[in-house]
Amino acid sequence: MSAKGTVLKRVRQSRKANSRNRHYKSMMKTAIKNILETTDKKDSDEKLRNAISIIDKVKSKGVIHKNTASRQKSRITQYINSLK
């Protein structure tokens, strides 16, 4: 494979990975947004479990840093605990 072919392959791979990472980040942001829009504590427990699961999944794939995942989980948990 020539140098040009290698570069083009790398571009293809990075675009594919970028698209995949964007999907996971979007999924995570949507789950967090759904939690922060919740006003009653009843249905928030299921949403919280779902959001934490998604955040952990995104973290395990290396899309976000582990400290970012911890911060987001802490943030949404604090919000749920502040609801009455």
pLDDT digits (tens, 9 = 90+) for 30-44: 999 999 999 988 889
Distance CA 2, CA 27 (A): 38
H helical segments located in the chain: 3-36, 44-60, 66-82
Give me the sign of the Cα torsion angle 60, 62, 65, 71: negative
pLDDT of residue 3: 87
84 pLDDT tier (thresholds 50, 70, 90): confident
pLDDT of residue 43: 84
Which tokens go with 74? 């802490």
Is residue 14's pLDDT more than 80?
Answer: yes
pTM of this structure: 0.88
Q: How far is CA 65 from the centre of its chain?
A: 10
pLDDT of residue 66: 97
